[in-house]
Amino acid sequence: MQASNEEGILGQEIQRILNESPALAGALVGISIRSAETGEVIYERGSQTRLRPASNLKLLTAAAALETLGDDYVFQTELYIKGLQVDHVLQGDVYLKGKGDPTLLEKDFDELAASLKQNQVQIVHGNLIGDDTWYDDVRYSKDLVWSDEYEYYGAAVSALNASPNEDYDTGTILVEVSPGKKAGKKATVKMKPETEYVEIINKTKTVAEDGKKKIDVERFHGKNVITVSGTIPENAGQTKEWFSVTDPTEYALNLFEKSMKKQGIKVVGEKKQGKTPVDARMIATHESMQLSQLLIPFMKLSNNSHAEVLVKEMGKAANGDGSWEDGLKVAKSQLALMGLDMHTIKMRDGSGISQVNMIPANEITSLLYAVQEKTWFPAYLNALPVAGVEERMVGGTLRKRMKKTNATGNVRAKTGTISGTSSLSGYVTTKRGEKIIFSILLNNFVEEKGITAIQDKIAVMLADQENLLESGL
């Protein structure tokens, strides 16, 4: 039986939840609920209305990437030399060529530098060159606003990049602020990874234990200068902030130069960007984790940069053009083959950060039904945040939500939040064991307080159902 209205027990329960939420006054609501077994729609409200999905758009990007690249796909970073090597001296250049890997850490640059040393290179009478030409030179997606550029979630996209830790927020640096040795001293401010590419201005002061903790960390727009100001008590915990860098390629190249110095390798020439010559000799390759594993930090932590890298990589893999334009064409084509009506969807990026993205809730549940037949579906499902599970790389963005309910450890769903938009779409199993797909898109609200609670109540209500598919209407 297919539902196209709000009648029946399920409709009444959902309407009650919506009516209890004053934050939805004047807002737009799109809800689609269907059987995961048959694909049959069992409840819908505004499900054909195009709404902003925020990070629920990553559900589309992940599916298209898995279909285009495969769940065993890996990104490579290559190290080349060109020139004449006599004993320990290279009369020529060293090239670090990025191919999109969003998971490069400082230790990976150390390993690549060690490979250079294993090739007996100790002095480079030439230049150190970063090659990011695998993708085009457009750093930001079409609708990213300038005020998001310095935020970790608005980081620039490059084919040669670096991350500060195993969250893999590519193109960002982590700033850690701790109390100084005693009151009156400046706070201790550290960067991870340590790099000369970013400048820290420390305007802080450590105060007595009963003092006020008020730390402000700010990166100047368009500059790699971060100012830390304010007060921190002697016994206070550490404050952490992530910021993007202005040029990911220069950032990665700076870290690699640092790794070369650790190995005792000296570069006489300049550090700059360029293209690897076709006759250069490759001496080392670093491979990323497989896409099935990369999906975990991507989806669990809702990593915007990963989404945009995947879009460009789809374009590169399918058409030889690592651009948003070509990547989105490939993604849309794959999604259409999965049964989505791309004429009713506007997809402007891969992450959902654009306020111009639009999709009906019914198209999201249609996708979530279709992907169940794919060989890569276990990796897709495993990457979704799990409600109420504290472990960060399991619960992800849902680890603090729906705790101590029938949704805990049960609901697997993607969250999404941008200004005036909140979304939750995924899978839930009822008490009786019926598998349900749902999508809840909320748009144009003014007050954010209580918005995610609306989604949680609906998801928990679905998990509590004894006999949804037979009597839910």
In the chain, where the domains are located: 8-72+292-471, 76-139+247-288, 172-244
Query: Catalytic residue among 21, 35, 58, 141, which?
Result: 58
Nearest CA among 297, 191, 300 for reference residue 251: 191
pLDDT of the residue at 467: 75
pLDDT of the residue at 86: 92
**The tokens of 411 are what?**
């609901």
Query: Catalytic residue among 21, 32, 35, 55, which?
Result: 55
- Report the DSSP pairing between strands 281-287 and 172-178: unpaired
> pLDDT averaged over consecutive 10-residue blocks of the chain (473 residues)?
56 93 94 97 96 98 98 98 94 97 98 95 96 97 90 95 96 96 94 95 94 92 93 93 96 97 95 97 97 98 98 97 97 98 98 97 98 98 98 98 97 97 98 96 94 97 83 45
pLDDT of the residue at 4: 41
Is 32 among the residues known to form the active site?
A: no
So what's the architecture of 8-72+292-471 in CATH?
3-Layer(aba) Sandwich (3.40)
Give dist(CA 199, CA 219) in Å, integer. Answer: 10
pLDDT of the residue at 147: 86
Query: Catalytic residue among 302, 351, 366, 425, which?
Result: 302
pLDDT of the residue at 355: 96
pLDDT of the residue at 220: 84
pLDDT of the residue at 471: 47
> Top-level CATH class of 76-139+247-288?
alpha beta
- Radius of gyration of the chain from its Cα atoms, rounded to whole angstroms: 25
pLDDT of the residue at 7: 56
End-to-end Cα spacing for the chain: 9
Contacts with 360 (C-beta within 8 Å, 6 or more apart), sequence order:
30, 32, 47, 48, 49, 50, 51, 344, 345
Is 302 among the residues known to form the active site?
A: yes
pLDDT of the residue at 469: 65
Is 55 among the residues known to form the active site?
A: yes
Contacts with 363 (C-beta within 8 Å, 6 or more apart), sequence order:
340, 341, 344, 345
pLDDT of the residue at 8: 80
Asked if domains 8-72+292-471 and 76-139+247-288 share a fold, the reply is: no
Q: How far is CA 383 from CA 17, 157, 278, 369, in A?
A: 29, 22, 38, 16
